[in-house]
Amino acid sequence: MRPTILLALLSASTISARVIPAWMLSPPASSNIGRNLDDSTIIRDTDEPTIIRSGGKSIGIRSLDESNVIRSEDDTIIRSLDDSNIIRSEDDTIIRSLDESNVIRSKDDTIIRSVDDSPIIRSEGQGKIIRRDDVEIVEIR
């Protein structure tokens, strides 16, 4: 045999079609995991909750009962409930957006609301509003 024919027969016998099972090509339907090219973002979808995790920033986004929870590496949580945004920090400060106004609630139930670029501090326990436009105090009973 000529060397070219022998080489052609050898290469033809070593090349074969591989059958890859479908489960190796894609993850199960109950959990989808996607990664960016830099291998930093994982998106996992398991039944109802959706979790997006970033390797660099450790951000998780979870959707539970039509609410979104975003958790960052400093345990800041942003939750969307009924078209309102809640941002919870380590010291349990909550920032809520209601009717295009921002509400910041601290541990002692003090509310700071910004309406029309005027900060308002409301203390629910004392029933008073302090508006800081220079110095102006308004009490509500």
- How far is residue 104's CA from residue 95's CA, in Å, rounded to a whole number? 4
pLDDT digits (tens, 9 = 90+) for 13-40: 444 445 555 544 444 444 444 544 444 4
Confidence of residue 5 (pLDDT cuts 50, 70, 90): low
pLDDT of amino acid 112: 52
DSSP-assigned states of every residue in 24-59: HHS--TTEEEEE-TTS-EEEEEESS-EEEEETTT--
Cα 77 to Cα 47, 67, 123: the distances in Å are 22, 12, 23
- How far is residue 98's CA from residue 91's CA, in Å, rounded to a whole number? 21
Contact 33, 42 (CB under 8 A): yes
**pLDDT exceeds cutoff 50 at 84:** no
Q: Which residue has the higher pLDDT, 11 or 56?
A: 11
Give the predicted TM-score (pTM) of the model. Answer: 0.18
Query: Any idea where the domains of the chain sit in the sequence?
Result: 16-73, 91-141
- Average pLDDT over the chain reads 48
- How far is residue 86's CA from residue 89's CA, in Å, rounded to a whole number? 10
CA-based max dimension of the chain = 106
- How far is residue 62's CA from residue 68's CA, in Å, rounded to a whole number? 6
pLDDT digits (tens, 9 = 90+) for 26-78: 444 444 445 444 444 444 444 444 444 444 444 445 444 444 455 554 555 55
